[in-house]
Chain A
């Protein structure tokens, strides 16, 4: 049972596993025979054979370095004592790891290490310093050269660097093995660390400054790689070593990293000592970012609400009540509203931060207990166009590849995404491939880090103007088709509507020259980039919200699908159309039937046989008509026809556009129920607050952007007394729908599998056995589908769509001459509800407005000034940051802090097909604020009407 598991660190095999080896070789190590893939190191083969060879500079997350001279071995027929980490196995090789000669050499080397390693090393005392373990293993009982008794007596003592909020660097414990330097370079790809000096003067340096002021991104790779306690989590120093571990999944972005939660204690008082990325995690393979690795403290934050609360009006004080009373108030209130205003007068919003099982029961409650399809999810405001566009073109609403696929890409087209900030662990994979020689084309108005960063430089940065993505992607395809660079065979054999599409795209109106006034891109640059994408080998498209959050978000998704099909870049490794999903379970929440027109598995509610499946199982007649989307709910609330809302784990008052409109809609409702960890902005308008559970308390599954279903396991029991799915089920039952009884979350997945063909082979037991699976999993023989559309598209033939560019109606004007685009930053996540309650605020304590120097100069704005940001719907105040990352005419901000309320200025414009808000295009004006002082920001949020 996972909750009771003991702490058992993952085995370190010393060097990475060899991938894609064709042959295996057989070697004998200390008399044990082991067969390994060709190219495997002797060190790894020995570990696999159960033979432990001492090591210090080697670890299986990094390529062999061969510097510590601890892993020496003897090989029959070979001269000398080679380092086993850098020696590949060959067939028939006979290796001896414990000869007197190598034992003597190791002891001598270890004595040298110990001669400058303090006896009062914290890690040695705690038992997590490999020096101590290796000294015991090699039998280095005495140090002929003496050993420093304290940290101040080492050859070159240095002050401990405690600048980073999460870890400290103590150079006195450091053996300068370079594992941290290599982890920063090879694993993370940031190159923030180096070795300064020589010999005893050698010291690890964060570029001549402290860690906080350096280029370090706090991914934790260096801490994980450190064999001593020189780099150590502060939480370990504070709490000590863990007593058990729980394998689970991160609750931040759509990469969905696997982690081992290292824990002390059991039951409600258990404490997380640290989160360590799992080497076996399919999404992250042992890597992490500052959010998943360190920013978990919010789960125990003092702001966390642990009791249900109710109030009669939103002006009343909250009153803590029992679960029974809270659930009765919700159920009775919703039933009364339906009795008075009709069945369609209430609805629900599910959360992409909740598990598949929690989301499934919410949509079940809405469809069966509420009796309507007024269920939507926060994917509405991020990737709903992905679902629509990829379903239309490929036949399924999901990305085509696994993350590992990027390792086979030759040219990467990155559109409207900033992976180093928003999907950092995947960005590290991508950067590794780019360092190996893959080419990169960045299409983004901002000069994001990937345009030029250490050892990575984009071949082309195409600063596409906000709102012109479709013009851009059509131009790319136009060049490829008119210059005969398309894959004619793929188009003819695997696609439909080829003639119509080829004629459409070849029209001169789609040429880069014709579209240049819309895109702002030099036609020659675009032509060169298009040629590179079509001819450089495996071409992969990665994209983010810079694609979807536009009035033509869905059209752009289809345009990218066209581009992939027309170049034959679908159906194998290294290619594909890859959405970088925002939230940890946004894919899953969509899969689970959270959209008002679809049951789980993306099946329209009007399909009789699908509806019959659920009607038979649930014993209820279900509505065959689509329900309200989130923005429709707001409109209906203001019209007086929508009166009650259940919101699970979303802060719509902060995250959704046109805040004034959202707040007015929430105010207009009679019963708003918020289920969340914290009293968020939406809770200001709630009548019932139901406390939710953090990911550390959940039992279930998340599905990441590569369709990977990962287990989420509880580290400690629910702090609120109920699991979230139990709360939802209790409401459903209280409303008279009795078929919401499950003994465990696994039973909910069993129901999902029984009713959803793409999940048919999924169960908790299989996930526990296999680690993870990528849907579709059509039966219990399948282990999942990492790459989709091999040989045939899900819909049969891929559909080439005529993606006509239709400019947004949101235009810059004399009154609002700039275009605002919004986005995310590395240290914060979404509305910041989690990360703002952690030391991640160290890096991003407030949202700032990035503005081009020319735009700033004409307005008299300098970095640090408070500025008014206003649009036709509202205004706010925030601090300016003059930046050449922005093109002239475009400004940028994030929406992580409610005090700045960036969405006060965003408008009701939305994607034509899905109503995903057009966050990326808002006409605005910026000027130096007339207000003074720190309170100015909070006091400045106003609707436009008050500025008349």
Chain B
């Protein structure tokens, strides 16, 4: 399975928070990504979500939406 790195890593993060209630999990995923990913990686993730990349964890999709809202100028 050759996923884009941001999708693979994002899914890995999402699986760790899957035990939490969905909104809480998405917020935690977004917080982690914001703390440790570069802006360009975050933009790539948002693009993957926008383009409907296969096999993205729904929690990651939710988190990416939160990132887009938090980053001024992000898509």
Q: Do A and B bind each other?
A: yes
Instruction: Identify the interface centre among B8, B16, B32, B38: most chain A CB within 10 Å of its CB.
Output: B38
Instruction: Identify the interface centre among A344, A604, A626, A908: most chain B CB within 10 Å of its CB.
Output: A626
Instruction: Identify the interface centre among A629, A641, A804, A912: most chain B CB within 10 Å of its CB.
Output: A912
CB distance from A871 to the nearest CB of B (A): 14
Query: What 1/0 flags go to A791-816 for Cβ under 8 Å of B?
Result: 00000000000101010000000000
Contact A626 B35 (CB under 8 A): yes
Contact B38 A344 (CB under 8 A): yes
**With A555-B16, A910-B12, A913-B13 given, is the CB distance from A625 to B39 under 8 Å?**
yes
**With A635-B5, A804-B19 given, is the CB distance from A628 to B13 under 8 Å?**
no
- Complex CA–CA separation, A708 to B13 (angstroms): 33
Query: What 1/0 flags go to B1-24 for Cβ under 8 Å of A?
Result: 000010011001101101100000
Contact B32 A913 (CB under 8 A): yes
**With A632-B5, A804-B19 given, is the CB distance from A625 to B38 under 8 Å?**
yes
Question: A710 contacts the other chain (Cβ, under 8 Å)?
Answer: no
Nearest residue in A to B8 (C-beta to C-beta)?
Answer: A908
Contact A627 B8 (CB under 8 A): no
Q: Which chain B positions have C-beta within 8 A of A555?
A: 16
Contact B16 A626 (CB under 8 A): no
Interface of A is mostly: loop
- Complex CA–CA separation, A913 to B36 (angstroms): 9
- Complex CA–CA separation, A910 to B10 (angstroms): 12
Contact B35 A632 (CB under 8 A): no
- Complex CA–CA separation, A802 to B25 (angstroms): 13
Within 8 A of B (CB), among A623-652: 625-629, 631-632, 635-636, 641
Nearest residue in A to B32 (C-beta to C-beta)?
Answer: A913
Q: Which chain B positions have C-beta within 8 A of A551?
A: 12
**Other-chain contact of A628, B18, B35, B38 (Cβ < 8 Å):** B38
- Complex CA–CA separation, A749 to B55 (angstroms): 49
- Complex CA–CA separation, A641 to B6 (angstroms): 15
Q: Which chain A positions have C-beta within 8 A of B5?
A: 631-632, 635, 908
Q: Which chain B positions have C-beta within 8 A of A629?
A: 36
Query: What 1/0 flags go to B35-58 for Cβ under 8 Å of A?
Result: 111111100000000000000000
Within 8 A of B (CB), among A596-641: 596-597, 604, 606, 625-629, 631-632, 635-636, 641
- Complex CA–CA separation, A625 to B74 (angstroms): 14
Q: Which chain A positions have C-beta within 8 A of B8?
A: 908
Contact A912 B16 (CB under 8 A): yes
Contact A804 B35 (CB under 8 A): no
Contact B40 A344 (CB under 8 A): yes
Nearest residue in B to A388 (C-beta to C-beta)?
Answer: B36
**Other-chain contact of A597, B13, B18, B35, B40 (Cβ < 8 Å):** B35
Contact A806 B16 (CB under 8 A): yes
Question: A915 contacts the other chain (Cβ, under 8 Å)?
Answer: yes
**Other-chain contact of A632, B12, B32, B38 (Cβ < 8 Å):** B38
**With A635-B5, A908-B8 given, is the CB distance from A641 to B16 under 8 Å?**
no
Q: Which chain B positions have C-beta within 8 A of A914?
A: 36
Q: Which chain B positions have C-beta within 8 A of A802?
A: 19
Q: Which chain A positions have C-beta within 8 A of B15?
A: 806, 912
Nearest residue in B to A803 (C-beta to C-beta)?
Answer: B16
- Complex CA–CA separation, A910 to B38 (angstroms): 18
- Complex CA–CA separation, A10 to B59 (angstroms): 63
- Complex CA–CA separation, A625 to B34 (angstroms): 9
Q: Which chain B positions have C-beta within 8 A of A806?
A: 15-16, 18
Nearest residue in B to A804 (C-beta to C-beta)?
Answer: B19
Contact B16 A604 (CB under 8 A): no
CB distance from B38 to the nearest CB of A (A): 6
Q: Which chain B positions have C-beta within 8 A of A628?
A: 38, 41
- Complex CA–CA separation, A597 to B39 (angstroms): 12
- Complex CA–CA separation, A879 to B9 (angstroms): 34
**With A597-B36, A908-B8, A913-B32 given, is the CB distance from A632 to B41 under 8 Å?**
yes
Contact B13 A627 (CB under 8 A): no
Interface size on B, residues (CB 8 A): 17
CB distance from B56 to the nearest CB of A (A): 15
CB distance from B44 to the nearest CB of A (A): 9
**With A344-B40, A641-B40 given, is the CB distance from A604 to B35 under 8 Å?**
yes
- Complex CA–CA separation, A597 to B34 (angstroms): 10
- Complex CA–CA separation, A625 to B36 (angstroms): 9
Nearest residue in A to B19 (C-beta to C-beta)?
Answer: A804
Contact B19 A912 (CB under 8 A): no
Q: Which chain A positions have C-beta within 8 A of B19?
A: 802, 804
Contact A627 B38 (CB under 8 A): yes
CB distance from A681 to the nearest CB of B (A): 23
- Complex CA–CA separation, A704 to B15 (angstroms): 34
Q: Which chain B positions have C-beta within 8 A of A635?
A: 5
Contact B37 A915 (CB under 8 A): no
CB distance from A606 to the nearest CB of B (A): 8
Q: Which chain B positions have C-beta within 8 A of A636?
A: 40
Nearest residue in B to A807 (C-beta to C-beta)?
Answer: B15
Nearest residue in B to A915 (C-beta to C-beta)?
Answer: B9
Nearest residue in B to A627 (C-beta to C-beta)?
Answer: B38
- Complex CA–CA separation, A365 to B18 (angstroms): 40
Q: Which chain B positions have C-beta within 8 A of A908?
A: 5, 8
- Complex CA–CA separation, A343 to B12 (angstroms): 29
- Complex CA–CA separation, A802 to B19 (angstroms): 9
Nearest residue in A to B42 (C-beta to C-beta)?
Answer: A625
- Complex CA–CA separation, A597 to B37 (angstroms): 8
Nearest residue in A to B4 (C-beta to C-beta)?
Answer: A635
Contact A804 B16 (CB under 8 A): yes
Query: What 1/0 flags go to A397-414 for Cβ under 8 Å of B?
Result: 000000000000000000
CB distance from B50 to the nearest CB of A (A): 18
- Complex CA–CA separation, A636 to B39 (angstroms): 13
- Complex CA–CA separation, A555 to B39 (angstroms): 25
- Complex CA–CA separation, A626 to B41 (angstroms): 10
Nearest residue in B to A809 (C-beta to C-beta)?
Answer: B12
Q: Which chain A positions have C-beta within 8 A of B39?
A: 625
- Complex CA–CA separation, A912 to B12 (angstroms): 5
- Complex CA–CA separation, A912 to B16 (angstroms): 8
- Complex CA–CA separation, A802 to B20 (angstroms): 10
CB distance from A751 to the nearest CB of B (A): 26
Nearest residue in A to B17 (C-beta to C-beta)?
Answer: A804
Contact A626 B37 (CB under 8 A): yes
CB distance from B28 to the nearest CB of A (A): 11
CB distance from A923 to the nearest CB of B (A): 13
**Other-chain contact of A626, B9, B12, B18, B38 (Cβ < 8 Å):** B38
CB distance from A348 to the nearest CB of B (A): 15
CB distance from B39 to the nearest CB of A (A): 5
- Complex CA–CA separation, A712 to B74 (angstroms): 47
Instruction: Identify the interface centre among A344, A551, A627, A913: most chain B CB within 10 Å of its CB.
Output: A913
Query: What 1/0 flags go to A534-556 for Cβ under 8 Å of B?
Result: 00000000000000000110010
CB distance from A631 to the nearest CB of B (A): 8
Nearest residue in A to B13 (C-beta to C-beta)?
Answer: A912
- Complex CA–CA separation, A923 to B5 (angstroms): 20
CB distance from B21 to the nearest CB of A (A): 12
Q: Which chain B positions have C-beta within 8 A of A641?
A: 40
CB distance from B49 to the nearest CB of A (A): 18
- Complex CA–CA separation, A802 to B40 (angstroms): 31
Q: Which chain B positions have C-beta within 8 A of A626?
A: 35-38
16 pairs, CB–CB < 8 Å, chain A vs chain B: A344-B40, A552-B16, A597-B36, A604-B35, A629-B36, A632-B5, A632-B38, A636-B40, A804-B16, A806-B15, A908-B5, A912-B12, A912-B15, A913-B16, A913-B32, A913-B36
Given contacts A551-B12, A910-B12, A914-B36, 18 further A-B pairs with CB under 8 A are A344-B40, A552-B16, A597-B36, A604-B35, A625-B38, A625-B39, A628-B38, A628-B41, A629-B36, A632-B5, A632-B41, A804-B16, A804-B19, A908-B8, A910-B9, A912-B15, A913-B32, A915-B9
Which residues of A line the B interface, CB within 8 A?
344, 551-552, 555, 596-597, 604, 606, 625-629, 631-632, 635-636, 641, 802, 804, 806, 908, 910, 912-915
Which residues of B line the A interface, CB within 8 A?
5, 8-9, 12-13, 15-16, 18-19, 32, 35-41
Closest 4 pairs between A and B when the two form their complex, measured CB to CB = A912-B12, A635-B5, A804-B19, A912-B16
